[in-house]
Amino acid sequence: MRIATWNVNSIRARLPRVIDWLASARVDVLALQEIKCRPEQFPGAAFEALGYHVSIWGTNQWNGVALITREPATDVQAGFSGAPAWGVPPAVEPRALGGTVRGVRVWSLYVPNGRSVDDPHYRYKLAWLGRLAHEARSWLAEDPDAQIALVGDWNVAPRDEDVWDIRAFAGETPVTPAEREAFGAFAAQGYRDVVRPLAPTGYTFWDYKHGRYPRDEGMRIDFVLGSPALAARVEDAFIDRAARSGDKPSDHVPVVVQLREEDSAEQRDDWDEDDRPMVL
């Protein structure tokens, strides 16, 4: 089973790229962030033509999350309990969408950016992460063997090497101690970054400005955090850096994990090296 996450920065603007990538990557679940559209605006027919099912939560030209799945996702949930609200009037933004596929509970997450440490959005970000951590802890307390994948754009760089030059980020998001502590709370509960052990280097985001991508001045802010039961199944992972090149790319790239089948007698979709994009 293959799970991928990708902040596409507007699905309608990136549709041809996403469809081409999905057709070659052959993932079972693709979690999208920043779809930037309402459900009726989402180009679902293009995904259905490839044999996928679509679950969407979006409200306008900002934010928005989706799950693209080979099998219909069950127990689809828009948002998590107690999620902080934002805006005037305050409302819960479309930033978290959960669904279960083949026994794996996948959450597509778009963590608030935070903007700057003196901005109210920074406090909103920390509150959002804190509440998600509370909920994630309760999920494991209820079922320690639950297979949970918290995937998406976390807007946190938890290590200094996760940004192209830590000196350029002094006192700024996404590297502040409070953000890193909020991210670390998930590890304290047993959730693991299942990509880093298999892909220890590489960024997942490059700003459009200042020629960041050609100079590889990026950030690693997109992660797959797995519960203990899910982490035990991960056999491969990679960051598809090449997806950032070409015409009109997203500023993020896909992050992919491959899970071992639970029953070896029923294995399918074995990882083929020809399916694994070359990571440049």
Number of C-alpha atoms within 13 angstroms, CB side, residue 262? 7
Q: For residue 269, is pLDDT > 70?
A: no
pLDDT at 167: 96
Alpha-carbon radius of gyration of the chain: 18
pTM: 0.93
pLDDT at 249: 97
Q: How far apart are CA 75 and CA 93, in angstroms?
A: 20
Residue 17 class from Cβ within 10 Å (0-12 exposed, 13-18 middle, 19+ buried)?
middle
Q: For residue 264, is pLDDT > 80?
A: no
The total of other beta-carbon atoms located within 10 Å of residue 158's CB is 21
pLDDT tens digit string along 40-69? 999 999 999 999 999 999 998 899 999 999
Q: How confident is the model at residue 262 (pLDDT cuts 50, 70, 90)?
A: confident
Mean pLDDT of 217-235: 98
pLDDT at 268: 40
pLDDT at 275: 52
Residue 75 class from Cβ within 10 Å (0-12 exposed, 13-18 middle, 19+ buried)?
exposed
Q: For residue 91, is pLDDT > 50?
A: yes
Mean pLDDT of 141-162: 98
Contacts of 44 (CB under 8 A, 6+ apart): 54, 56
DSSP per residue, 206-239: --TGGGTTTTT--B--EEEEE-HHHHTTEEEEEE
Q: For residue 270, is pLDDT > 50?
A: no
DSSP 157: -
Q: For residue 85, is pLDDT > 80?
A: yes
Q: For residue 26, is pLDDT > 50?
A: yes
Q: Which token pair is 253?
A: 């790239």
Q: CA nearest 213: which of 243, 170, 169?
A: 243
- CATH C-level class of 2-275: alpha beta
Q: For residue 267, is pLDDT > 90?
A: no
Q: How confident is the model at residue 215 (pLDDT cuts 50, 70, 90)?
A: very high
pLDDT at 263: 64
- Tell the residue number behind the tokens 């790239």, with chain if given: 253
Helix or strand or coil: residue 102? Answer: coil
Mean pLDDT of 197-211: 96
pLDDT tens digit string along 3-23? 999 999 999 999 999 999 999
Q: For residue 245, is it left (φ>0), alpha (ψ between -120 and 50) or beta?
A: beta
Q: CA nearest 149: which of 181, 101, 113, 196?
A: 101
Q: CA nearest 245: which of 273, 274, 208?
A: 208
Q: For residue 228, is pLDDT > 60?
A: yes
pLDDT at 61: 85
Any idea of the CA torsion for 57, 59, 65, 71, to the nearest 10 degrees? Answer: 30
Q: How confident is the model at residue 271 (pLDDT cuts 50, 70, 90)?
A: very low
Q: How far apart are CA 14 and CA 21, in angstroms?
A: 11
Q: Which residue has the higher pLDDT, 48 or 263?
A: 48
Q: How far apart are CA 57 and CA 96, in angstroms?
A: 8
Q: Are 117 and 92 in contact (CB under 8 A)?
A: no
Mean pLDDT of 100-128: 98
> Which whole-number Å values give the CA distances from 108 to 5, 152, 216, 251, in the listed order?
7, 6, 26, 18
